[in-house]
Amino acid sequence: MGDYLRQISAQAGLRFEQVNNVIMVSRSEKDEVINTPVVDLAVQMRKITGQVMASEDNTPLPGVNITVQGTTLGVISDNEGRFSIDVPESATLVFSFVGYLTEAVTITGQTVLNISMIPDVKSLNEVVVIGYGSVKKPDLTGAVSTISSQQIDKIPTLSVANILQGKAAGVDVVSNTGEPGGGVTIRIRGTSTLNGGSSPLFIVDGVPLQTDGVTSLNMGGSALNPLADMDPSDIESIQVLKDAASAAIYGSRAANGVVIVTTKRGKAGKPTLNINSTIGVSKIANKIGVLNARQFRDFMFDKDMNNGGAPGAAGVDSLAGSNSGDTDFQDAMFRQALTKKFDAKISGGTDKLRYMISTGFLDQDGIVIKTNLKRINTRINVDYQAYENLKIGSNFSYTRSTNTRTDQGSNIKGVVSIPSIYPIFLSDGTYNVAPNDKLNPVAYANLIKNQAITNRFLGSEYFEWTPIKGLIAKSSFSVDYSDIIENVFRNKLTYIPKSTDHKAQYRGNKSLSWLTEKLTFFIH
Protein backbone atom coordinates (compact mmCIF):
# COMPACT_ATOMS: atom_id res chain seq x y z
CA MET A 1 0.00 0.00 0.00
CA GLY A 2 2.84 2.38 0.85
CA ASP A 3 4.42 2.01 -2.61
CA TYR A 4 1.11 2.80 -4.30
CA LEU A 5 0.59 5.92 -2.16
CA ARG A 6 4.11 7.16 -2.92
CA GLN A 7 3.48 6.76 -6.67
CA ILE A 8 0.17 8.62 -6.44
CA SER A 9 1.80 11.34 -4.34
CA ALA A 10 4.53 11.88 -6.93
CA GLN A 11 2.08 12.14 -9.82
CA ALA A 12 -0.85 14.03 -8.29
CA GLY A 13 0.86 16.53 -5.99
CA LEU A 14 -0.81 15.07 -2.88
CA ARG A 15 0.51 14.19 0.57
CA PHE A 16 -0.67 11.06 2.42
CA GLU A 17 -0.48 10.43 6.16
CA GLN A 18 -1.62 7.13 7.67
CA VAL A 19 -2.59 6.72 11.31
CA ASN A 20 -3.67 3.14 12.07
CA ASN A 21 -6.42 2.40 9.51
CA VAL A 22 -7.08 6.05 8.64
CA ILE A 23 -5.41 7.67 5.61
CA MET A 24 -5.45 11.49 5.47
CA VAL A 25 -4.96 13.27 2.13
CA SER A 26 -3.80 16.88 1.68
CA ARG A 27 -2.27 18.99 -1.08
CA SER A 28 1.51 19.05 -1.15
CA GLU A 29 3.11 22.38 -0.28
CA LYS A 30 5.23 22.20 -3.44
CA ASP A 31 4.23 21.72 -7.06
CA GLU A 32 4.86 18.13 -8.02
CA VAL A 33 5.76 17.54 -11.64
CA ILE A 34 3.89 14.68 -13.32
CA ASN A 35 7.00 13.47 -15.05
CA THR A 36 6.97 10.06 -16.63
CA PRO A 37 10.37 9.63 -18.29
CA VAL A 38 9.19 8.68 -21.78
CA VAL A 39 11.02 11.55 -23.50
CA ASP A 40 14.44 10.81 -24.92
CA LEU A 41 17.01 12.07 -22.39
CA ALA A 42 19.22 13.22 -25.26
CA VAL A 43 16.66 15.90 -26.11
CA GLN A 44 17.57 19.27 -24.61
CA MET A 45 15.06 20.31 -21.95
CA ARG A 46 13.96 23.82 -21.03
CA LYS A 47 12.33 24.90 -17.76
CA ILE A 48 9.16 26.91 -18.27
CA THR A 49 7.56 28.83 -15.41
CA GLY A 50 4.49 30.98 -15.35
CA GLN A 51 1.03 31.67 -14.02
CA VAL A 52 -2.50 30.87 -15.23
CA MET A 53 -5.18 33.54 -14.78
CA ALA A 54 -8.89 33.85 -15.54
CA SER A 55 -9.44 36.38 -18.35
CA GLU A 56 -12.66 37.80 -16.91
CA ASP A 57 -11.22 39.03 -13.58
CA ASN A 58 -7.48 38.18 -13.66
CA THR A 59 -7.77 35.86 -10.66
CA PRO A 60 -5.39 32.89 -10.38
CA LEU A 61 -6.71 29.51 -11.53
CA PRO A 62 -5.56 26.61 -9.32
CA GLY A 63 -5.75 23.02 -10.56
CA VAL A 64 -5.24 23.76 -14.28
CA ASN A 65 -3.88 20.75 -16.18
CA ILE A 66 -0.72 21.69 -18.09
CA THR A 67 0.65 18.96 -20.37
CA VAL A 68 3.22 18.65 -23.13
CA GLN A 69 1.33 17.73 -26.29
CA GLY A 70 2.10 14.21 -27.50
CA THR A 71 3.78 13.11 -24.23
CA THR A 72 2.84 12.16 -20.68
CA LEU A 73 4.70 15.13 -19.17
CA GLY A 74 2.48 17.42 -17.15
CA VAL A 75 1.89 19.47 -14.02
CA ILE A 76 -1.01 21.07 -12.17
CA SER A 77 -1.04 24.76 -11.24
CA ASP A 78 -0.87 25.56 -7.51
CA ASN A 79 -3.23 27.65 -5.40
CA GLU A 80 -1.84 30.84 -6.94
CA GLY A 81 -2.08 29.52 -10.48
CA ARG A 82 1.71 29.15 -10.78
CA PHE A 83 3.47 26.26 -12.47
CA SER A 84 6.92 25.04 -13.44
CA ILE A 85 7.68 22.33 -15.99
CA ASP A 86 10.64 20.99 -17.99
CA VAL A 87 9.81 20.65 -21.68
CA PRO A 88 11.72 19.74 -24.87
CA GLU A 89 12.66 22.43 -27.37
CA SER A 90 9.77 23.58 -29.61
CA ALA A 91 7.24 21.71 -27.48
CA THR A 92 3.56 22.67 -27.31
CA LEU A 93 1.96 23.19 -23.90
CA VAL A 94 -1.75 22.45 -23.55
CA PHE A 95 -3.72 24.21 -20.78
CA SER A 96 -7.12 22.70 -19.88
CA PHE A 97 -9.59 23.45 -17.11
CA VAL A 98 -13.28 22.68 -16.60
CA GLY A 99 -15.47 25.56 -17.79
CA TYR A 100 -12.69 27.19 -19.85
CA LEU A 101 -11.54 26.87 -23.43
CA THR A 102 -8.45 24.71 -23.93
CA GLU A 103 -5.33 26.70 -24.82
CA ALA A 104 -2.33 25.39 -26.80
CA VAL A 105 0.92 27.40 -26.82
CA THR A 106 4.09 26.51 -28.75
CA ILE A 107 7.38 27.25 -26.95
CA THR A 108 9.64 29.42 -29.15
CA GLY A 109 12.51 30.26 -26.82
CA GLN A 110 10.71 31.89 -23.89
CA THR A 111 11.18 30.65 -20.32
CA VAL A 112 8.31 32.57 -18.70
CA LEU A 113 4.76 31.98 -19.87
CA ASN A 114 1.67 33.68 -18.44
CA ILE A 115 -1.67 32.40 -19.72
CA SER A 116 -5.09 34.04 -19.58
CA MET A 117 -7.83 31.41 -19.99
CA ILE A 118 -11.18 32.32 -21.57
CA PRO A 119 -14.45 30.91 -20.13
CA ASP A 120 -16.29 28.42 -22.34
CA VAL A 121 -19.46 30.51 -22.61
CA LYS A 122 -21.17 27.97 -24.86
CA SER A 123 -20.73 25.23 -22.29
CA LEU A 124 -21.82 27.42 -19.38
CA ASN A 125 -24.88 28.70 -21.21
CA GLU A 126 -26.04 25.29 -22.43
CA VAL A 127 -29.77 24.99 -21.79
CA VAL A 128 -31.37 21.81 -20.50
CA VAL A 129 -35.10 21.20 -20.99
CA ILE A 130 -36.96 20.02 -17.87
CA GLY A 131 -40.74 19.84 -17.76
CA TYR A 132 -42.42 23.04 -18.88
CA GLY A 133 -39.26 25.13 -18.61
CA SER A 134 -35.53 25.05 -19.15
CA VAL A 135 -32.48 25.91 -17.06
CA LYS A 136 -28.82 26.59 -17.70
CA LYS A 137 -26.65 23.57 -17.15
CA PRO A 138 -24.67 25.09 -14.21
CA ASP A 139 -27.98 25.70 -12.38
CA LEU A 140 -29.26 22.16 -12.94
CA THR A 141 -29.73 20.13 -9.75
CA GLY A 142 -31.73 17.14 -11.04
CA ALA A 143 -30.49 13.96 -12.68
CA VAL A 144 -30.70 14.77 -16.39
CA SER A 145 -28.71 13.36 -19.32
CA THR A 146 -28.47 15.36 -22.54
CA ILE A 147 -27.68 14.12 -26.05
CA SER A 148 -27.02 16.97 -28.49
CA SER A 149 -27.50 17.09 -32.25
CA GLN A 150 -23.70 17.02 -32.68
CA GLN A 151 -23.58 13.67 -30.88
CA ILE A 152 -26.59 12.35 -32.79
CA ASP A 153 -25.08 13.27 -36.17
CA LYS A 154 -21.99 11.22 -35.30
CA ILE A 155 -24.04 8.08 -34.59
CA PRO A 156 -24.71 5.99 -37.72
CA THR A 157 -28.12 4.77 -36.60
CA LEU A 158 -31.58 4.52 -38.09
CA SER A 159 -33.47 4.33 -34.79
CA VAL A 160 -34.04 6.89 -32.05
CA ALA A 161 -33.92 4.10 -29.47
CA ASN A 162 -30.38 3.17 -30.53
CA ILE A 163 -29.25 6.76 -29.91
CA LEU A 164 -29.91 6.27 -26.20
CA GLN A 165 -27.69 3.18 -26.02
CA GLY A 166 -24.48 4.05 -24.23
CA LYS A 167 -25.15 7.80 -24.36
CA ALA A 168 -27.17 8.27 -21.17
CA ALA A 169 -26.09 6.87 -17.81
CA GLY A 170 -28.66 4.64 -16.14
CA VAL A 171 -30.61 4.02 -19.36
CA ASP A 172 -30.93 0.44 -20.63
CA VAL A 173 -32.14 -0.19 -24.19
CA VAL A 174 -32.81 -3.77 -25.30
CA SER A 175 -34.08 -4.82 -28.71
CA ASN A 176 -36.76 -7.48 -28.29
CA THR A 177 -36.41 -9.13 -31.73
CA GLY A 178 -33.68 -7.32 -33.66
CA GLU A 179 -36.04 -6.79 -36.60
CA PRO A 180 -36.20 -3.36 -38.29
CA GLY A 181 -38.80 -1.33 -36.41
CA GLY A 182 -39.21 -4.14 -33.89
CA GLY A 183 -40.12 -3.59 -30.28
CA VAL A 184 -37.61 -2.27 -27.78
CA THR A 185 -37.52 -2.20 -24.00
CA ILE A 186 -36.25 1.06 -22.50
CA ARG A 187 -35.67 1.27 -18.76
CA ILE A 188 -34.41 4.27 -16.82
CA ARG A 189 -32.86 3.32 -13.48
CA GLY A 190 -34.59 -0.04 -13.38
CA THR A 191 -38.29 -0.88 -13.22
CA SER A 192 -40.90 1.02 -11.24
CA THR A 193 -43.81 -0.78 -9.58
CA LEU A 194 -46.14 2.19 -10.08
CA ASN A 195 -48.71 1.47 -12.81
CA GLY A 196 -47.05 -1.92 -13.31
CA GLY A 197 -45.00 -0.76 -16.30
CA SER A 198 -41.40 -0.11 -17.20
CA SER A 199 -41.50 2.18 -20.24
CA PRO A 200 -40.69 5.88 -19.74
CA LEU A 201 -42.89 8.74 -20.89
CA PHE A 202 -41.89 10.09 -24.32
CA ILE A 203 -42.41 13.79 -25.12
CA VAL A 204 -41.81 15.06 -28.68
CA ASP A 205 -41.93 18.85 -29.05
CA GLY A 206 -44.28 19.00 -26.08
CA VAL A 207 -46.55 16.20 -27.33
CA PRO A 208 -46.79 13.12 -25.05
CA LEU A 209 -46.54 10.00 -27.22
CA GLN A 210 -49.17 7.32 -26.83
CA THR A 211 -47.35 3.99 -26.73
CA ASP A 212 -50.17 1.68 -25.60
CA GLY A 213 -51.92 1.66 -28.97
CA VAL A 214 -48.69 0.94 -30.78
CA THR A 215 -47.43 -1.89 -28.60
CA SER A 216 -50.78 -3.62 -28.07
CA LEU A 217 -50.80 -5.02 -31.62
CA ASN A 218 -48.86 -8.15 -30.93
CA MET A 219 -50.57 -10.75 -33.09
CA GLY A 220 -47.36 -11.76 -34.79
CA GLY A 221 -45.47 -12.36 -31.57
CA SER A 222 -43.47 -9.10 -31.48
CA ALA A 223 -44.55 -5.60 -30.58
CA LEU A 224 -43.89 -2.50 -32.67
CA ASN A 225 -41.47 0.25 -31.72
CA PRO A 226 -43.22 3.58 -30.98
CA LEU A 227 -39.99 5.47 -31.72
CA ALA A 228 -39.56 3.87 -35.15
CA ASP A 229 -41.73 6.61 -36.69
CA MET A 230 -39.10 9.29 -36.03
CA ASP A 231 -36.19 10.22 -38.29
CA PRO A 232 -33.05 10.69 -36.12
CA SER A 233 -31.80 13.42 -38.48
CA ASP A 234 -34.75 15.63 -37.42
CA ILE A 235 -33.69 15.64 -33.76
CA GLU A 236 -31.98 18.64 -32.17
CA SER A 237 -31.55 17.16 -28.69
CA ILE A 238 -32.74 14.43 -26.32
CA GLN A 239 -33.11 15.01 -22.58
CA VAL A 240 -33.52 12.04 -20.24
CA LEU A 241 -35.11 13.01 -16.90
CA LYS A 242 -34.16 10.30 -14.45
CA ASP A 243 -35.10 11.45 -10.95
CA ALA A 244 -38.32 12.52 -9.27
CA ALA A 245 -37.29 16.18 -9.03
CA SER A 246 -36.76 16.52 -12.79
CA ALA A 247 -39.86 14.63 -13.87
CA ALA A 248 -42.28 15.66 -11.10
CA ILE A 249 -44.21 18.01 -13.40
CA TYR A 250 -45.57 14.98 -15.31
CA GLY A 251 -46.95 13.19 -12.26
CA SER A 252 -47.40 9.42 -12.13
CA ARG A 253 -46.80 9.08 -15.88
CA ALA A 254 -43.15 9.88 -15.18
CA ALA A 255 -42.72 7.06 -12.65
CA ASN A 256 -40.36 5.32 -15.10
CA GLY A 257 -38.59 8.49 -16.21
CA VAL A 258 -39.14 10.90 -19.09
CA VAL A 259 -37.47 11.15 -22.51
CA ILE A 260 -37.91 14.62 -24.04
CA VAL A 261 -37.17 14.88 -27.77
CA THR A 262 -36.75 18.33 -29.31
CA THR A 263 -36.71 18.57 -33.11
CA LYS A 264 -34.72 21.03 -35.19
CA ARG A 265 -36.05 24.55 -35.81
CA GLY A 266 -35.42 27.11 -38.50
CA LYS A 267 -32.90 29.93 -38.05
CA ALA A 268 -32.93 33.45 -39.42
CA GLY A 269 -31.05 33.78 -42.69
CA LYS A 270 -31.10 32.65 -46.28
CA PRO A 271 -32.80 29.33 -47.04
CA THR A 272 -30.48 26.38 -46.47
CA LEU A 273 -31.02 23.07 -48.26
CA ASN A 274 -29.43 19.90 -46.90
CA ILE A 275 -29.70 16.61 -48.79
CA ASN A 276 -28.29 13.35 -47.45
CA SER A 277 -28.28 9.91 -48.99
CA THR A 278 -26.98 6.81 -47.24
CA ILE A 279 -26.59 3.21 -48.29
CA GLY A 280 -25.25 0.47 -46.05
CA VAL A 281 -24.99 -3.26 -45.53
CA SER A 282 -25.40 -5.17 -42.28
CA LYS A 283 -24.83 -8.80 -41.46
CA ILE A 284 -24.64 -11.10 -38.49
CA ALA A 285 -21.33 -10.70 -36.68
CA ASN A 286 -20.69 -14.32 -35.76
CA LYS A 287 -22.36 -17.64 -36.41
CA ILE A 288 -23.03 -20.07 -33.59
CA GLY A 289 -21.11 -23.31 -33.86
CA VAL A 290 -23.41 -26.32 -34.31
CA LEU A 291 -22.95 -29.95 -35.32
CA ASN A 292 -23.10 -30.83 -38.99
CA ALA A 293 -25.10 -33.86 -40.17
CA ARG A 294 -22.26 -36.38 -39.80
CA GLN A 295 -21.32 -35.13 -36.32
CA PHE A 296 -24.96 -35.17 -35.23
CA ARG A 297 -25.47 -38.77 -36.44
CA ASP A 298 -22.31 -39.89 -34.66
CA PHE A 299 -23.41 -38.16 -31.47
CA MET A 300 -26.87 -39.73 -31.55
CA PHE A 301 -25.39 -43.14 -32.38
CA ASP A 302 -23.09 -42.98 -29.36
CA LYS A 303 -25.94 -41.79 -27.17
CA ASP A 304 -28.15 -44.70 -28.16
CA MET A 305 -25.36 -47.22 -27.68
CA ASN A 306 -24.46 -45.82 -24.25
CA ASN A 307 -28.10 -46.03 -23.20
CA GLY A 308 -28.38 -49.64 -24.29
CA GLY A 309 -30.54 -48.90 -27.30
CA ALA A 310 -30.22 -49.84 -30.93
CA PRO A 311 -28.37 -47.50 -33.31
CA GLY A 312 -30.74 -45.25 -35.20
CA ALA A 313 -33.48 -45.52 -32.59
CA ALA A 314 -33.58 -41.72 -32.38
CA GLY A 315 -34.69 -41.40 -35.99
CA VAL A 316 -31.39 -40.36 -37.51
CA ASP A 317 -31.04 -43.22 -39.99
CA SER A 318 -29.04 -41.79 -42.91
CA LEU A 319 -31.23 -43.78 -45.31
CA ALA A 320 -34.39 -41.95 -44.24
CA GLY A 321 -35.32 -39.43 -46.91
CA SER A 322 -36.42 -36.76 -44.48
CA ASN A 323 -33.15 -37.10 -42.55
CA SER A 324 -30.75 -37.02 -45.49
CA GLY A 325 -29.88 -33.31 -45.43
CA ASP A 326 -26.79 -31.46 -44.29
CA THR A 327 -28.30 -28.02 -43.83
CA ASP A 328 -26.75 -24.84 -42.45
CA PHE A 329 -29.92 -23.14 -41.22
CA GLN A 330 -27.96 -20.04 -40.18
CA ASP A 331 -26.84 -19.46 -43.76
CA ALA A 332 -30.40 -20.01 -44.92
CA MET A 333 -32.00 -17.62 -42.40
CA PHE A 334 -29.46 -14.79 -42.24
CA ARG A 335 -28.40 -12.51 -45.08
CA GLN A 336 -26.46 -9.40 -45.91
CA ALA A 337 -29.15 -6.76 -45.43
CA LEU A 338 -29.23 -3.62 -47.57
CA THR A 339 -30.32 -0.27 -46.12
CA LYS A 340 -31.17 2.81 -48.17
CA LYS A 341 -31.95 6.17 -46.58
CA PHE A 342 -32.64 9.57 -48.08
CA ASP A 343 -33.59 12.81 -46.35
CA ALA A 344 -33.83 16.46 -47.35
CA LYS A 345 -34.28 19.57 -45.22
CA ILE A 346 -34.83 23.22 -46.02
CA SER A 347 -34.74 25.85 -43.30
CA GLY A 348 -34.39 29.58 -42.95
CA GLY A 349 -36.45 32.65 -42.21
CA THR A 350 -36.34 36.21 -40.98
CA ASP A 351 -36.20 37.79 -37.54
CA LYS A 352 -39.96 37.27 -37.30
CA LEU A 353 -40.71 34.08 -39.24
CA ARG A 354 -38.60 30.93 -39.12
CA TYR A 355 -39.29 27.54 -40.65
CA MET A 356 -37.89 24.03 -41.07
CA ILE A 357 -39.34 21.53 -43.53
CA SER A 358 -37.99 18.01 -43.88
CA THR A 359 -38.86 14.80 -45.65
CA GLY A 360 -37.23 11.40 -45.65
CA PHE A 361 -37.44 7.85 -46.95
CA LEU A 362 -36.05 4.68 -45.39
CA ASP A 363 -35.90 1.17 -46.84
CA GLN A 364 -34.23 -1.14 -44.33
CA ASP A 365 -33.88 -4.89 -44.76
CA GLY A 366 -33.33 -7.02 -41.67
CA ILE A 367 -30.52 -9.56 -41.43
CA VAL A 368 -33.27 -12.19 -41.08
CA ILE A 369 -34.97 -13.08 -44.35
CA LYS A 370 -38.45 -11.65 -44.99
CA THR A 371 -38.00 -8.73 -42.56
CA ASN A 372 -38.12 -5.12 -43.75
CA LEU A 373 -39.09 -1.60 -42.72
CA LYS A 374 -40.18 1.07 -45.20
CA ARG A 375 -40.86 4.56 -43.85
CA ILE A 376 -41.85 7.89 -45.36
CA ASN A 377 -41.80 10.88 -43.03
CA THR A 378 -42.49 14.61 -43.32
CA ARG A 379 -42.08 17.37 -40.73
CA ILE A 380 -42.94 21.09 -40.70
CA ASN A 381 -41.89 23.39 -37.85
CA VAL A 382 -42.82 27.10 -37.98
CA ASP A 383 -42.19 29.88 -35.42
CA TYR A 384 -43.57 33.40 -35.79
CA GLN A 385 -42.64 36.37 -33.59
CA ALA A 386 -45.90 38.31 -33.96
CA TYR A 387 -44.91 41.03 -31.49
CA GLU A 388 -41.92 41.71 -29.31
CA ASN A 389 -43.52 39.82 -26.42
CA LEU A 390 -45.77 37.39 -28.34
CA LYS A 391 -44.62 34.28 -30.19
CA ILE A 392 -46.74 31.62 -31.90
CA GLY A 393 -45.73 28.41 -33.62
CA SER A 394 -46.76 25.10 -35.14
CA ASN A 395 -45.21 21.63 -35.28
CA PHE A 396 -46.56 18.97 -37.62
CA SER A 397 -45.22 15.56 -38.57
CA TYR A 398 -46.66 12.67 -40.59
CA THR A 399 -45.19 9.19 -40.94
CA ARG A 400 -46.31 6.17 -42.92
CA SER A 401 -44.42 2.96 -42.30
CA THR A 402 -44.78 -0.61 -43.49
CA ASN A 403 -43.21 -3.16 -41.18
CA THR A 404 -42.78 -6.68 -42.55
CA ARG A 405 -41.94 -9.21 -39.88
CA THR A 406 -41.68 -12.94 -39.45
CA ASP A 407 -43.74 -14.99 -37.07
CA GLN A 408 -42.66 -15.21 -33.44
CA GLY A 409 -39.59 -13.04 -34.00
CA SER A 410 -38.51 -15.25 -36.94
CA ASN A 411 -38.35 -18.32 -34.67
CA ILE A 412 -34.63 -17.61 -34.26
CA LYS A 413 -34.47 -20.32 -31.63
CA GLY A 414 -35.18 -22.87 -34.34
CA VAL A 415 -32.13 -21.76 -36.33
CA VAL A 416 -29.79 -23.37 -33.80
CA SER A 417 -32.11 -25.97 -32.24
CA ILE A 418 -33.21 -27.85 -35.37
CA PRO A 419 -30.67 -30.57 -36.29
CA SER A 420 -28.76 -30.08 -39.53
CA ILE A 421 -29.82 -33.53 -40.79
CA TYR A 422 -33.17 -32.12 -41.87
CA PRO A 423 -33.36 -30.60 -45.37
CA ILE A 424 -35.25 -27.36 -45.98
CA PHE A 425 -37.27 -28.92 -48.83
CA LEU A 426 -38.72 -32.38 -49.31
CA SER A 427 -38.10 -34.43 -52.44
CA ASP A 428 -41.31 -33.09 -54.03
CA GLY A 429 -40.10 -29.48 -53.69
CA THR A 430 -42.39 -28.52 -50.81
CA TYR A 431 -41.12 -27.18 -47.51
CA ASN A 432 -40.09 -29.67 -44.87
CA VAL A 433 -42.17 -27.68 -42.36
CA ALA A 434 -41.86 -29.61 -39.11
CA PRO A 435 -39.70 -32.74 -39.26
CA ASN A 436 -40.18 -34.74 -36.06
CA ASP A 437 -42.05 -31.71 -34.62
CA LYS A 438 -38.96 -29.52 -35.09
CA LEU A 439 -40.13 -26.26 -36.66
CA ASN A 440 -38.26 -25.38 -39.84
CA PRO A 441 -37.51 -21.63 -39.41
CA VAL A 442 -36.92 -21.08 -43.14
CA ALA A 443 -40.30 -22.58 -43.98
CA TYR A 444 -42.09 -20.47 -41.37
CA ALA A 445 -40.39 -17.28 -42.54
CA ASN A 446 -41.58 -17.86 -46.11
CA LEU A 447 -45.02 -19.33 -45.47
CA ILE A 448 -46.28 -16.77 -42.93
CA LYS A 449 -47.09 -13.17 -43.86
CA ASN A 450 -46.96 -10.70 -40.97
CA GLN A 451 -47.23 -7.05 -41.87
CA ALA A 452 -48.13 -3.88 -39.97
CA ILE A 453 -48.95 -0.58 -41.70
CA THR A 454 -48.83 2.52 -39.51
CA ASN A 455 -50.04 6.04 -40.24
CA ARG A 456 -49.13 8.54 -37.52
CA PHE A 457 -49.72 12.25 -37.16
CA LEU A 458 -48.27 14.48 -34.44
CA GLY A 459 -49.22 18.13 -34.29
CA SER A 460 -49.17 21.06 -31.89
CA GLU A 461 -49.99 24.76 -31.84
CA TYR A 462 -48.68 27.11 -29.18
CA PHE A 463 -48.39 30.73 -28.21
CA GLU A 464 -45.95 32.30 -25.74
CA TRP A 465 -46.52 35.66 -24.10
CA THR A 466 -43.77 37.39 -22.13
CA PRO A 467 -45.42 40.02 -19.89
CA ILE A 468 -42.13 40.83 -18.18
CA LYS A 469 -38.57 39.73 -18.83
CA GLY A 470 -37.93 36.22 -17.52
CA LEU A 471 -41.61 35.29 -17.07
CA ILE A 472 -43.36 33.37 -19.87
CA ALA A 473 -47.03 32.45 -20.15
CA LYS A 474 -47.66 29.59 -22.56
CA SER A 475 -50.80 27.99 -23.98
CA SER A 476 -50.80 25.04 -26.37
CA PHE A 477 -52.88 22.33 -27.99
CA SER A 478 -51.35 19.06 -29.20
CA VAL A 479 -52.68 15.90 -30.79
CA ASP A 480 -51.30 12.39 -31.39
CA TYR A 481 -53.22 10.24 -33.89
CA SER A 482 -52.19 6.78 -35.03
CA ASP A 483 -53.86 4.26 -37.32
CA ILE A 484 -52.33 0.79 -37.31
CA ILE A 485 -53.42 -2.11 -39.49
CA GLU A 486 -51.85 -5.50 -38.99
CA ASN A 487 -52.55 -8.59 -41.05
CA VAL A 488 -51.23 -12.09 -40.51
CA PHE A 489 -51.71 -14.98 -42.93
CA ARG A 490 -50.46 -18.46 -42.15
CA ASN A 491 -50.16 -21.02 -44.93
CA LYS A 492 -52.03 -24.24 -44.20
CA LEU A 493 -48.74 -26.15 -44.19
CA THR A 494 -47.68 -24.35 -41.00
CA TYR A 495 -50.50 -25.76 -38.87
CA ILE A 496 -49.75 -28.62 -36.50
CA PRO A 497 -51.67 -30.88 -36.40
CA LYS A 498 -52.94 -30.64 -39.96
CA SER A 499 -56.55 -30.83 -38.77
CA THR A 500 -56.29 -27.39 -37.15
CA ASP A 501 -58.65 -24.79 -38.63
CA HIS A 502 -56.85 -22.45 -41.00
CA LYS A 503 -57.41 -18.72 -40.66
CA ALA A 504 -56.12 -15.29 -41.57
CA GLN A 505 -56.12 -12.38 -39.14
CA TYR A 506 -56.78 -8.74 -39.91
CA ARG A 507 -56.79 -6.23 -37.12
CA GLY A 508 -56.72 -2.48 -36.76
CA ASN A 509 -56.25 0.01 -33.98
CA LYS A 510 -56.95 3.73 -34.14
CA SER A 511 -55.77 5.92 -31.30
CA LEU A 512 -56.41 9.62 -30.75
CA SER A 513 -55.18 11.65 -27.81
CA TRP A 514 -54.94 15.36 -27.28
CA LEU A 515 -53.59 17.68 -24.64
CA THR A 516 -54.64 21.26 -23.93
CA GLU A 517 -52.56 23.57 -21.77
CA LYS A 518 -54.76 26.59 -21.23
CA LEU A 519 -52.21 28.83 -19.53
CA THR A 520 -48.94 27.90 -17.92
CA PHE A 521 -46.48 30.30 -16.29
CA PHE A 522 -42.83 29.47 -15.88
CA ILE A 523 -39.53 31.25 -15.32
CA HIS A 524 -37.05 31.31 -18.16
pLDDT tens digits for range 382-399: 999 999 889 999 999 999
Query: Mean pLDDT throughout 155-181?
Result: 79
Pair type for strands 201-204 and 258-263: parallel
With a cut of 60, say whether residue 208 has pLDDT above it. Answer: yes
Q: Where are the domains of the chain?
A: 31-120, 124-263, 270-523
Q: What is d(CA 260, CA 239) in angstroms, rounded to the nearest whole number?
A: 5
Query: What per-residue confidence (pLDDT) applies to 390?
Result: 92
- Per residue in 510-522, pLDDT (tens digit) is 889 888 887 766 6
Which of the two residues, 170 and 485, has the higher pLDDT score?
485
Query: 183-197, 273-287, 447-461: which range is least confident on average?
Result: 183-197
With bands split at pLDDT 50, 70 and 90, how would you rate the model's confidence at 401?
very high
Sign of CA pseudo-dihedral 166, 169, 174, 179 = negative
Query: What per-residue confidence (pLDDT) applies to 37?
Result: 41
- Per residue in 218-248, pLDDT (tens digit) is 444 445 566 778 888 899 888 888 777 666 7
Q: Which amino acid is present at 476? A: S
Overall fold of domain 124-263: Ferric Hydroxamate Uptake Protein; Chain A, domain 1 (2.170.130)
With a cut of 50, say whether residue 215 has pLDDT above it. Answer: no
Percent helix, strand, coil in the chain, to 5, is 20, 45, 35
User: 31-120 with 124-263: one CATH topology?
Assistant: no
**Rg of the Cα atoms in the chain:** 31
With a cut of 60, say whether residue 320 has pLDDT above it. Answer: no
Which run of H or E residues covers position 193?
Answer: none
Task: Specify whether the CB–CB gap between 253 and 208 falls below 8 A.
Answer: yes
Query: What per-residue confidence (pLDDT) applies to 280?
Result: 92
State what percent of residues in the chain have pLDDT above 90: 24
CATH 2.60.40.1930 fits domain 31-120 = no
**pTM for the structure as a whole:** 0.68
Which of the two residues, 319 and 131, has the higher pLDDT score?
131
With a cut of 80, say whether residue 376 has pLDDT above it. Answer: yes
Q: What is d(CA 467, CA 82) in angstroms, rounded to the nearest whole number?
A: 49
Among the listed residues 284, 372, 373, the one whose alpha carbon sits nearest the alpha carbon of residue 333: 284
Query: What per-residue confidence (pLDDT) applies to 31?
Result: 46
With a cut of 90, say whether residue 193 has pLDDT above it. Answer: no
